[in-house]
Structure 1
């Protein structure tokens, strides 16, 4: 396997998107480590919970109802949620102000416990994430899957990206590109595939000095169906 140079990927993406300036306007800038560390625990829990509820449901429907979720779940403050009884959780799962899905509601408790335990060890959940080595980002995904609830697949990575954490995403376009290049062979979420993807992104990051977020977006823009329409003459 010969890995394509990031410069070639970038130029192809720029051509598809109408030039470098237009491509650059589409690329996101992740938060700094200091900014990630400053994210409160309740915002992590809110982001994880939103992505869990958006799985299999219209994202816009969930976003529109999210103020109700914030109200019902104490603005996702960890300590009050950990004090609720099983009966109180059952009542919240039946609350008509939110999307009623018992298993997803109970994931809020499980993920609150994960965040609380990480805070006891690292000072805050944000500190743990901020100090996670970028070349081992898929290990952070694995941590969320193992110690959290319903955070496997792309749910964990999308939650991190939503909050500004620097991570690549194995979206359909990115996964297809990595398979075409023989970086990923077999199951997408296997340890072998994730390590291979992480190694490839580390190489592109060394070449370009770009964030994982921007490299991931550039790959997506360089392939797949997201073509820019030709200008009207």
Structure 2
């Protein structure tokens, strides 16, 4: 058993909100992050479009907070044509220059260029099964069952392998840590703390970490 403070914070890193639900501290106070945690994070994402968007946003997040990316997500979607791979694949240098002047998004030339490169790589993957099939082929047989924040991994054997495979197809900003964050976000692994109300929310995993 873990102890709780008067504020509802447990020593396992969970915080019990006014609604009686336990969430990790990062999702407990900010309304936007709480909504994301309760409705999106860890819910399975399938299909080329959704996975391409998540890869791009995880790449933009590198070195920044996820809250920053969430607050800019609508602007990102507008700037990158709702992350339509065909549309973004057609971007040229002038589009990258134009996006570098758009203060609503993260103005990092390497990340913007990678979004274009990754769109082209996504289109090319259609000839060999597609992005969705490639990414989901790295779902492990078991998922972590962390009870405390200290037990949360940041990479895995599968995220290292996925990173290597995507790089071999020309993707950029897809390092093992970024790919593990992607795997968490789209339900490939479940790293919700065992005491969280969202544990096993994907429907793909049992609370103990075994596959359904």
TM-score by length of 2: 0.58
* Residue in structure 1 matching 2:50, options 43, 47, 54: 43
After the TM superposition, which residues 1-233 of structure 1 pair with which residues of structure 2 at under 5 Å, given as runs?
17=12, 39-122=46-129, 124-132=130-138, 134=140, 137=158, 138-146=160-168, 147-166=170-189, 210-211=210-211
CA distance in 2 between counterparts of 1:158 and 1:92 reads 25
Aligned residues: 156
Match for residue 7 of structure 2?
A: none
Question: Are 1:45 and 1:108, in contact at CA under 8 Å, matched by a contact in 2?
Answer: no
Question: Are 2:162 and 2:176, in contact at CA under 8 Å, matched by a contact in 1?
Answer: no
CA distance in 1 between counterparts of 2:164 and 2:102 reads 32
TM-superposed CA distance for 1:96, in Å, is 2.5
**CA distances 1:30-50 after superposition (whole Å, capped 9, x unpaired):** 66xxx65xx232221221121
CA distance in 2 between counterparts of 1:77 and 1:145 reads 20
More helix by share: 1
TM-score by length of 1: 0.54
Give RMSD over aligned pairs.
Answer: 3.8
Mark the CA change 1:103 to 1:209 in structure 2 (over 3 Å): closer, same or farther.
closer
CA distance in 2 between counterparts of 1:96 and 1:16 reads 39
